[in-house]
Chains A and B, each alone.
Chain A
Amino acid sequence: MKHGRYPFILSFLALPVGLYAWLVILPFAQAFQISLTDWSGSSNSFEYIGFDNYVNLFKDERLVLPALRHTGIILVVLPVVTIALGLFFAFMLNLGGRVRRGRIEGVRGARFHKVVYFFPQVLSVAIIGILWKQVYAPENFGGLITGALTSVGLPAPVNGFLADKRMVLAAVIAVLVWSAVGFYLVFFSSAMASIPRDLYEAAIIDGAGRGPMFFRITLPLLWDSVQTAWIYLSIVALDVFVLIYMMTPERGGPDAASEVVGGVIWKYAFNHGEQAFASALGVVLFFAALSLAVVSLRFGRRERIEF
Chain B
Amino acid sequence: MEVHVSRPVLRALDEPQVLYAMASIQPAQQEGEQVAPPLNLSLVFDRSTSMAGERLDTARVSAESILTQLRPQDKIAVVTFSDRAEVLLSTELTLPVSEARQRLSMIQASGGTEIYQGLSAGVNQLRQVRHPNSVDHVILLTDGRTYGDEAACLQLAEEAAQEGIEITAMGIGDEWNDSFLDSLATKTGGQAVYIDNIASLGPFLQQKFLGLGQVHADQVVVEVETTPGVTLHSAFRVNPAPMPLHEGHMLRLGSLFAGNNITLLMEYLVPPITPMDSYEISRLHLGAHLAKRATNLRTVLSLSLPVVNEPVPAPIPGTLLSAVRNVNLARLQEKALADAQTGHLNLATTRLERIATRLFEMGEPDLANTVLGESSQLRRTHSISEKGKKAVKYGTRGLVDPKHGGRLR
The answer to whether A and B assemble together is no
Interface residues of B (CB under 8 A from A): none
